[in-house]
Amino acid sequence: MNEGLPEKPTEQWVHLNGKLTPKSEASVSIYDHGFLYGDGAFEGIRVYSGNVFKLEPHLCRLYRSAQALDINLGIDHAQLQNRVVETVRANQLESGYIRLSISRGVGLGLDPRQVAAGASIIISTEQLRLYPQEMYDQGLDVITASTRVPPAVCIDPQIKSLGRYVNNITAKMEANRVGAGEALMLNMVGNVAEATGDNVFLVKHGEIITPPTSDGALPGITRQVVMDLAKDMGITCRQLTITLYDVYNADEAFLTGTAAEVIAMTKCDNRRIGDGKPGSLTQRIINAFRAITAVDGVKV
């Protein structure tokens, strides 16, 4: 039946500091700064039908994060792209998730001067689905977490850093405790910033709005894709400060992220959003997003 096709590898491969390594043998030092202090950054990237989706924007954001953290990766975009593609090919990944993690390197102590030369760069692939199918069909029931996003004067939300996600994990635990699918996170002045792993979009009077990065939102790659799709579809999409009042009174709402893709939010803090079902404009965005993932990407 599969004559002429290579067999799927029995061993998963990880690109660890420039070398393909069997997953079972891949490890980092106990003194890696990412492990010790959350001193690093990461990207989650999707593969659809053999295409690495939006690889260049992901790599650009990673390099911006590294620049902000003053981490020298020691390789350029093209070399890092080659490593990503090589990892996907080695694992024969047709569709799935890529995790690209970096840290400052190895060294005990906070002082970066004590870190040995050479950043840690780790690329792995997995299957990942953030929400079960019924949540995509019916929409998410969401709560507002008491855990706030760190203010930009502490950790700039534009840096997709390892350390900042402790707050997101804590907020996700709040959602888990009450059986909610996701949690919204507010900034220190009480405006909506993002969800624990997603960006937030509202629909009101046929327009789409989303919080700006200045309010604590990560500049998500899927977020930007949706904003571009809305423009192409003739739908007004603006970055505006959003309050919980706006969420409760939206006509529709949805979340976006690399792992989540696009998913409707139909209930928040026990308030039904719109008619309590995934809205028509949300569905248009979902369909447009699915269409673009089939044609846009770096072919493996």
**Is residue 117 domain-resident?**
yes
Last residue of a domain, one of 127, 151, 185: 127
137 and 250 share one domain: yes
The catalytic position among 54, 160, 172, 267 is 160
**Which residue type sits at 59?**
L
pLDDT of residue 9: 66
CATH for 100: 3.30.470.10
82 and 224 share one domain: no
Range of the domain at 255: 133-293
CATH for 284: 3.20.10.10
92 and 187 share one domain: no
142 and 288 share one domain: yes
76 and 146 share one domain: no
pLDDT of residue 11: 84
Residue 142 CA to residue 292 CA, distance in Å, equals 27
pLDDT of residue 8: 62
Last residue of a domain, one of 127, 153, 185: 127
**Is residue 8 domain-resident?**
no
259 and 143 share one domain: yes
Residue 212 backbone zone (phi > 0: left; psi -120 to 50: alpha; other: beta): beta
81 and 151 share one domain: no
DSSP-derived pairing of the beta strands 182-186 and 140-144:
parallel
147 and 271 share one domain: yes
pLDDT of residue 7: 59
Last residue of a domain, one of 68, 93, 127: 127
98 and 155 share one domain: no
144 and 274 share one domain: yes
For the segment 90-111, what is each residue's pLDDT rounded down to a tens digit?
Answer: 999 999 999 999 999 999 999 9
Count of structural domains within the chain: 2
E strand or H helix at 225, and its extent?
helix 221-232
Q: Which residues of the chain have pLDDT under 50?
A: 1-5
Residue 153 CA to residue 227 CA, distance in Å, equals 27
**Is residue 226 domain-resident?**
yes
**Is residue 298 domain-resident?**
no
**Is residue 112 domain-resident?**
yes
176 and 254 share one domain: yes
**Is residue 5 domain-resident?**
no
274 and 154 share one domain: yes
For the segment 155-205, what is each residue's pLDDT rounded down to a tens digit?
Answer: 888 899 998 899 999 999 999 999 999 999 999 999 999 999 999 999 999
Written as one string, the DSSP assignment of 140-169 is EEEEE-SSPPPPTTTS-TTS-BSTTHHHHH
**Is residue 7 domain-resident?**
no
- Predicted TM-score (pTM) of this structure: 0.92
19: annotated active-site residue: no
Name 262's bridge partners.
256
**Is residue 69 domain-resident?**
yes
